[in-house]
Structure 1
Amino acid sequence: MANIVLHTGMNVRIDLNELAKGDTEAAIKFEILYELDRVDAANGVPVAERGLRCDGICKDRNVVAWMYLRKQPNGRREAVHEHREDALRHTAPMSDEHKAYQARIIRAAEEGGFRADSEVRTPTAPRRWFQTDAVVENSAGLRIGWEIQLSSAEVAGPRSVRNRAAKALQHGITPAWHTDRMDLARRTETQWTRSDNLPAEVIRKTGVLRVVSGFRALDIWRCDSRALYPCPDGRITRCGKTHSTPKPRDIDFDSLVRSTAAGLVVPVEFPDKTTTHRFWVSADDRDRYYDLLGGAPSGPAGPELVPKGHASNDGPTCRPRVTLIPSQRPTVDWRSASHWSSTARPCRFCGSVTNLRDDRQLPAHKVCYEAQ
């Protein structure tokens, strides 16, 4: 619900705060617009086409949020948002720290030469969309969607982190969630990063803002008598295999914003025996890790996080590395349905998602495969 509603066609504006105080003029306006709204509803006119727009907090944040009118059995008159996220904007106002992070992301991105905007709405269907706190985009079309979560986050349901991250992936946005809460940073449904709990004036400053978790270096090592780590397979004696161990690393927040947009820092999934961990690593570490596995990992990625869509157009992090003799390269008919999957997976060469499958039914971009 909202406190102010405007009929854009008739240019009639109602302050429901005045209406609640018994203002006669506001009551007359409400009755006129209410009857018009009921007629539109009876004729099947969508809410977004009835001309009733939130003229309060949503307008102040440059968001167009459509509404409808209703009366409660007790006679209470209400203006109701079409979408729940718009209503939440009124009941859970954005904190100063949240605004400071948004402003810092925009500033860091633009100083690095990237396009950036806050409160970005991405269409998902006619008259439907999802909203991202800040989106940073590079010249090649790579988009990083930053979500600042400084309060509790839902675990299940349409507004859960998992579903919101999945929706971003489905629409070509790489989700990047940032928090100052340790309990959220320990979750694994998406790539979380965390900074210390700081006041807004510190977040806004141009100095270093450390990211203390969520970015890691991957240490590739051989499991022999000289190894510093215990064998991850649980063996008392050394197995002789090559393993990878993630090690926490601090990174400057501004550098993280720019590096993710440039494709120099990328998300990775790191499965162990019980859990799939998700964090950020350098693109070089990601490539070394995939080389170790012989391709992108096929461990549990969580079905709600699997993106949908078409094959990648060879994004900026798609870098084939090995060249074989051309005569050894198999011929693949990429137009065949047998080389397409409705489930997108990371390319076994570059790690960017693709729906294409090679002759062994492994995920691979056409350009990556044919460069081998």
Structure 2
Amino acid sequence: MFVSIRRRQGRLVLVASHLPVTHKATPEESARHRAMKERIARCAERHGLSAQVGARSADGRVLTAVLVTGAGGRRIGWEAQYSPITGETVRRRSRKAAEHGITPLWVTDSEQAALIDRTPWVRVDDFSSRDIASRLAMFVRGGIRHFQVWKCLPTSERPCPTTGSACGRFHSGWFLPTLCLPNKPPTEVDRLVVASTDGEFVPLCIRAADDRRAVARMWVPVTDRDRWWDIIGPPESTTDQDDTADPPEEEIAFTREDIDPTCRYGEQQTLARNDPRPRRDRPEATGLHTFVRAPRSLFAFPASSPTLDITAAQRQAAASRFGCPIWEIGPCRLCGTPIHRYGNRSTHACRSCRTALKHRIGPTPSGSSTQSP
């Protein structure tokens, strides 16, 4: 029998319950832990990164399963966690790693792991130690999200998150790759080893608007994070290790009841446990935000178009090159280069600018626009 602290109706109370042992550590878990460490270190070294297995800080306070260091000095501390662990232990170890300049990255295969949303994390498939050590592709199933912005129109593929019908406003949120429009490919663990060290993927912490203690932590592309900050503004603190535990000064509420000396455990034989672990890795979107007008920072093209200052001979040469009348020649909206700007089959930007723009913002979801709100 155990006594634990739980939150009930906004108050902290002591709860007594019989908690059966639902999990026992097995040798296979140790083998998977070792195989995951070897896979991360092998991938890092294959891409020219420094990897230390069982790295310990100078003061001995921080022990990292695999410490991956990039050329720019960015350090990622990988922790493969296949056995149960408490949320407070995860917060404490992650906080110590952050104090030593290490960005923690915890790996689990359980949707109910206590480390989810308490530290930068990812979830992978339930692979055996042999599969982990092999060259099989190992995809991240949870913990990586992508930023999506769309205008709420009757033709939009997404329903309105606030009214359920088209409201005409703009919405944004963080989605799993398979729930993005269009779908984005999942990220492999081997790629994340390199992308997290290079800064292509960064950790992000989003606090719920209605409950400041509730947070969602995820790994996101750095370009998506910058777009998110352009909309809501950068946070006051960019650290991801804010403690979300209950404040220590919060009092525990007591209710006076007569003591029942009879233990009634086992009187009702059911398959339901007293305190089943909830699912912490949820597929629905997080960080949903609604705004009336799109910020100018999200526009693909500047508000003012550059002018085309060329001679008549240069205009004629451009028309011959594009095979169009001279009056359909105009400036590229980004660089001002003469292009086939007007008329049928015309474009707003030159080929090089369109290629750079595509890599910067990616594909445009249905029902949204990258040029104007």
TM-score for the superposition, normalised by structure 1: 0.51
Q: 2:132 is matched with which residue? A: 203
Distance 1:150 1:139 in 2: 30
The counterpart of 1:179, out of the listed 84, 88, 108, is: 108
Gaps of 5+ in 2: 1-25, 179-185, 246-297, 299-373
Map 1:207-226; keep pairs closer than 5 Å: 207-226=136-155
Please identify which structure carries the higher helix content: 1
Q: 1:134 is matched with which residue? A: 66
Q: Which of these two proteins has the greater Rg computed from alpha carbons?
A: 2
- Secondary structure of 2:113's counterpart equals helix
TM-score for the superposition, normalised by structure 2: 0.51
Distance 2:241 2:52 in 1: 29
Please identify which structure carries the higher strand content: 1
Residue 150 in 1 paired to residue 79 in 2? Answer: no
The RMSD of aligned alpha carbons is: 3.2
Distance 2:244 2:104 in 1: 10
Distance 2:32 2:154 in 1: 49
Q: 1:363 is matched with which residue? A: none
Instruction: Report the residue type matching 1:95 in the other structure.
Output: S
Residue 120 in 1 paired to residue 55 in 2? Answer: yes
Number of aligned residue pairs: 212
Distance verdict in 2 for CA 1:245–1:166, change over 3 Å: same
Residue 266 in 1 paired to residue 205 in 2? Answer: no
- Secondary structure of 1:254's counterpart equals helix
- Secondary structure of 1:244's counterpart equals strand
Gaps of 5+ in 1: 1-90, 307-320, 322-372
The counterpart of 2:44, out of the listed 109, 131, 152, is: 109
- Of residues 295-304 and 202-211 in structure 1, the stretch that sits farther from structure 2 once superposed is 295-304
Q: 1:238 is matched with which residue? A: 167
Conserved in 2, the CA contact under 8 Å of 1:163 and 1:305? no
Conserved in 2, the CA contact under 8 Å of 1:165 and 1:305? no
The counterpart of 1:251, out of the listed 179, 182, 187, is: 187
Map 1:57-96; keep pairs closer than 5 Å: 95-96=30-31
Structure 1 residue 296, shift from structure 2 partner: 3.4
Distance verdict in 2 for CA 1:208–1:236, change over 3 Å: closer
Distance 2:194 2:244 in 1: 24
Distance 1:228 1:93 in 2: 44
Distance 1:173 1:287 in 2: 22
- Secondary structure of 2:243's counterpart equals helix
- Secondary structure of 1:238's counterpart equals coil
Distance 1:199 1:93 in 2: 8
- Secondary structure of 1:269's counterpart equals strand
Structure 1, residues 26-82: CA drift from partner, whole Å, max 9, x if none?
Answer: xxxxxxxxxxxxxxxxxxxxxxxxxxxxxxxxxxxxxxxxxxxxxxxxxxxxxxxxx
Distance 1:227 1:295 in 2: 28
- Secondary structure of 1:270's counterpart equals strand
The counterpart of 2:215, out of the listed 252, 260, 276, is: 276
- Secondary structure of 2:62's counterpart equals strand
Structure 1 residue 121, shift from structure 2 partner: 0.6
Distance verdict in 2 for CA 1:175–1:187, change over 3 Å: same
Structure 1 residue 269, shift from structure 2 partner: 1.6
Structure 1 residue 237, shift from structure 2 partner: 6.2
Conserved in 1, the CA contact under 8 Å of 2:95 and 2:241? no
Conserved in 1, the CA contact under 8 Å of 2:106 and 2:122? yes
Structure 1 residue 222, shift from structure 2 partner: 2.7
Q: 1:162 is matched with which residue? A: 91
Q: Which has the higher contact order (CA 8 A, sep 6+)?
A: 2
Conserved in 2, the CA contact under 8 Å of 1:135 and 1:145? yes
Structure 1, residues 177-198: CA drift from partner, whole Å, max 9, x if none?
Answer: 0011221178311122111111
Structure 1, residues 272-294: CA drift from partner, whole Å, max 9, x if none?
Answer: 34432111111111111111213
Distance 1:200 1:122 in 2: 28
Distance 1:150 1:302 in 2: 22
Conserved in 2, the CA contact under 8 Å of 1:214 and 1:248? no
